């Protein structure tokens, strides 16, 4: 079951904020008025009254919790919605650049500031560039976040043939790095240059994705995984709408492959 965390945070902020406001405007004045009208009638009650550390009446538990959690939830919502969001790599589609279990920070304002939950852009900042790694919601699974590399911008002509990428008729340079493992290799590792981005890609020695050609429509982007022969991407399910962009992947800050292993901080790095 997928949990819509932004929606949960918005509801939490709304509920705790409403409780706090209702108490501040309606309930707290009534408590103070009732408390001020209460006067001790015996010496014992007078002694207890004088021993009280505060002249304020005690708040209901639900109000105490609302006042405690509201600022925390609000700060988390603002940071996660407008600044940075954590993301974990769930599959191997971005190998060798990103591994299963890598934890990333996604820059939420790199491509514009959007409202939480509904995703409406309220301020333009920048647009995706070829070669950048982007988190988005794909057309066939709009409830899930995917991560791939930006290959095609609106209006671009993309061709993938013989495991070579062509953008607007220009071949993207590839440089051989290695074949792994050394005995009976299963993968070929290459450095590929797209625009100002040089990144590492992986090809299978046993099977390959079918060739194809695409023209990117306006307001959309063509995405591909660096694990070229083991990636479900725009070659399979089509283009990514601008309105479904989540943010730009910027840095790997931790690697934690599974619950049964220890997290590692030795491979922290910028994403390129």
φ/ψ of residue 166, rounded to 5: -125, 130
Say whether both 9 and 120 belong to one domain. Answer: no
Q: How many domains does the structure of the chain reveal?
A: 2
> Which amino acids are annotated catalytic?
93, 148
Say whether both 180 and 77 belong to one domain. Answer: no
Q: Which is higher by pLDDT, 235 or 43? A: 235
Say whether both 97 and 209 belong to one domain. Answer: yes
Say whether both 149 and 168 belong to one domain. Answer: yes
Question: Of 154, 141, 263, whose CA–CA distance to 214 is shortest?
Answer: 154
Where a domain ends, among 53, 81, 109?
81
- Across 170-196, average pLDDT: 94
Q: Is the pLDDT of residue 83 over 90?
A: no
We report the CATH number of the domain holding residue 95 as: 2.10.109.10
The pTM score is: 0.78
Say whether both 128 and 213 belong to one domain. Answer: yes
- Cα–Cα distance list, 38 to 42, 43, 47, 161, 209 (Å): 12, 14, 14, 86, 81
Where a domain ends, among 45, 65, 81?
81
pLDDT, position 128: 96
pLDDT, position 49: 53
Question: Of 88, 209, 83, 99, whose CA–CA distance to 144 is shortest?
Answer: 88
Say whether both 163 and 238 belong to one domain. Answer: yes
pLDDT, position 1: 47
- Cα–Cα distance list, 235 to 29, 156, 240 (Å): 63, 14, 11
Question: Of 158, 167, 228, whose CA–CA distance to 200 is shortest?
Answer: 228
* φ/ψ bin of 79: left (φ > 0), alpha (ψ from -120 to 50), beta (otherwise): alpha
Range with the lowest mean pLDDT among 122-126, 152-156, 170-174?
122-126
pLDDT, position 51: 52
Segments forming the whole domain that contains residue 141:
89-270
């Amino acid at each position: 079951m997928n949990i819509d965390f932004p929606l949960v945070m918005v509801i939490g902020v709304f509920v705790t904020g409403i409780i706090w406001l209702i108490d501040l405007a309606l309930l707290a004045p009534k408590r103070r008025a009732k408390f001020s009208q209460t006067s001790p009638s015996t010496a014992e009650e007078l002694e207890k009254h004088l021993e009280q550390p505060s002249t304020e009446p005690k708040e209901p538990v639900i109000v105490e919790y609302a006042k405690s959690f509201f600022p925390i939830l609000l700060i988390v919502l603002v940071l996660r919605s407008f600044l940075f969001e954590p993301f974990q790599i769930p599959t191997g589609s971005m190998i060798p650049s990103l591994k299963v279990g890598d934890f990333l920070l996604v820059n939420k304002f790199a491509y514009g500031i959007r409202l939480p939950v509904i995703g409406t852009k309220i301020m333009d900042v920048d647009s995706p560039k070829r070669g950048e790694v982007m988190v988005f919601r794909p057309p066939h699974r709009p409830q899930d976040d995917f991560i791939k590399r930006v290959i095609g911008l609106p209006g671009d002509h993309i061709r993938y043939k013989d495991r070579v990428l062509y953008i607007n008729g220009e071949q993207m340079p590839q440089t051989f790095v290695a074949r792994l493992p050394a005995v009976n290799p299963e993968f070929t590792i290459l450095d590929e240059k797209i625009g100002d981005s040089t990144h590492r890609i992986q090809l299978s020695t046993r099977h390959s994705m079918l060739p194809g050609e695409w023209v990117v429509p306006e307001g959309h982007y063509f995405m591909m995984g660096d694990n070229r022969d083991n990636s479900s991407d725009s070659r399979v399910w089509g283009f990514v709408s601008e309105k479904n962009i989540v943010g730009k992947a910027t840095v790997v800050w931790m690697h934690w492959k599974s619950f049964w292993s220890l997290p590692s901080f030795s491979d922290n790095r910028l994403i390129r």
